[in-house]
Amino acid sequence: MLLYILKSATCLAILLAFYKIFLEKENMHTFKRFYLLGSLLAAFAIPFITFVEYVEIPVVTQIIEQSNSNVSVVSSDGPEQYPTDYLPIVLWSIYFIGIVVLGFNFIKNLFQIIQRIQKNPKYKINQITNVLLLDRIIPHTFFNYIFLNKHKFEAKEIPSEVLLHEETHAKQKHSLDVLFIEFLQVLFWFNPLMYFMKKAIKLNHEFLADREVLDHGIKPSLYQNILLEFSSNSLQPQLANSINYSSIKKRFTVMKTKTSKKGILIRSLLLLTLLSTLVYGFSQKKILETYPESPQTIIGKWIDDEKESFELSFFEQDGDLMFVGGNSGPIRVQIINGEYYRFISPKYGLKPSDRRLKLPILFDNEKGTLTYSKRKYIPIEKVIKEKLYCTWENKK
């Protein structure tokens, strides 16, 4: 578990560093949105990827020589007692306490938003619902609900650019991303990288909303003045998208940036190289040992006298006599007093007279025929009754 956490955290750190260096300031915000969400999934999935390599191990015969030396055996009066390791218990307890605390905070914030929607007047325009609050708040969005100050909205003091900015958050479903990262932060609260990922995701939401406003023909200088006017140091709801969430200076810089097709191609190639390296470096390598099949010495083959589709055979493998009858798998066989038995392991203490282990096989040494379960079988590659029985290489 610890190894998985370390691998996952390292992958996330590398992907986040790549975003900060090569992508954050580029004007390709839709791609960046899916990159950030995909980075979270990739960081958790890559350590689970397993590449299996099969290695054939040669069969080695091991000879154990018995020694005449006396071996002393030390006996104990009871099972050996080991001290209880409390560290895993303490760590898991701390982890679940963190989940409970952050989970409670997550549910509380969600409940507060729902309460605001239910208890305050609403003004619906198309698919967007404006929730009018008496509190002095900055505009923010949660799914299709935009929270605005009631007095400013009724006095029409909120610029249309601000409303368009918030509508973009609602239409592009940015709240889904926020809830997703907030939920992951509850589960992986011990990982500080989750905080930086959440900040990057929310900042990119602002880039997307800014671009939508500018694409409507709004002058960048006018829009930047509006952002400065509405920016404040007040706290915004944790689960909502707020217009002044991120650094204004960085948003102004990104507004002026244009990414060329060549730049997109170069970054795409770098990203593919990075993902290949992460998969190779942080996935699991599993080596499975395979052993070559032991050579089989065929002793004899028989075929049903009436139905040629049923075959029997005896063969020797690793010094054991094996029998295959019909569709059944190989059976290890013992011959005792001319009768055929399944192999009897000495540790079970069974006698050869145990009829439950006897196989229904009768062999006629003179004719070379064999009877199995009251069905007659004749040797393969013999002409009997003007029929030639053999193992065909090509049935045509």
Taking only the tens place, the pLDDT of each residue in 201-253 is 999 999 999 999 999 999 999 999 988 887 665 556 677 777 654 578 888 88
Report the pLDDT value the prediction gives residue 258, as an integer from 0 to 100: 87
Identify the band that residue 334 occupies on the pLDDT scale cut at 50, 70 and 90. confident
Please, is 241 exposed, middle or buried when counting C-beta atoms within 10 Å of its C-beta (0-12, 13-18, 19+)?
buried
Report the pLDDT value the prediction gives residue 165, as an integer from 0 to 100: 94
Report the pLDDT value the prediction gives residue 328, as an integer from 0 to 100: 67
- Closest Cα partner for 183 from 238, 145, 234? 238
For the chain, the straight-line distance linking the first and the last C-alpha, in angstroms and rounded, comes to: 58
For residue 80, pLDDT beyond 60: no
Report the pLDDT value the prediction gives residue 234, as an integer from 0 to 100: 55
Tell me the two tokens of residue 69. 């030396």
Tell me the two tokens of residue 83. 């001290």
95-98 long-range Cβ contacts below 8 angstroms, 24+ apart: 95/190, 98/189, 98/190
Question: What's the mean per-residue pLDDT of the chain?
Answer: 82
In this structure, are strands 296-304 and 311-317 parallel, antiparallel, or unpaired?
Answer: antiparallel
Report the pLDDT value the prediction gives residue 385, as an integer from 0 to 100: 45
More confident residue, 214 or 350: 214
Number of other residues whose CB lies within 10 A of the CB of residue 301: 19
CB 182 within 8 A of CB 106: yes
Judged by average pLDDT, the poorest of 109-113, 233-237, 268-272, 325-329 is: 233-237
Task: Give Dmax over CA atoms of the chain in angstroms.
Answer: 115
Tell me the two tokens of residue 27. 């004007």
- The mean pLDDT of 254-272, rounded to a whole number, is 90
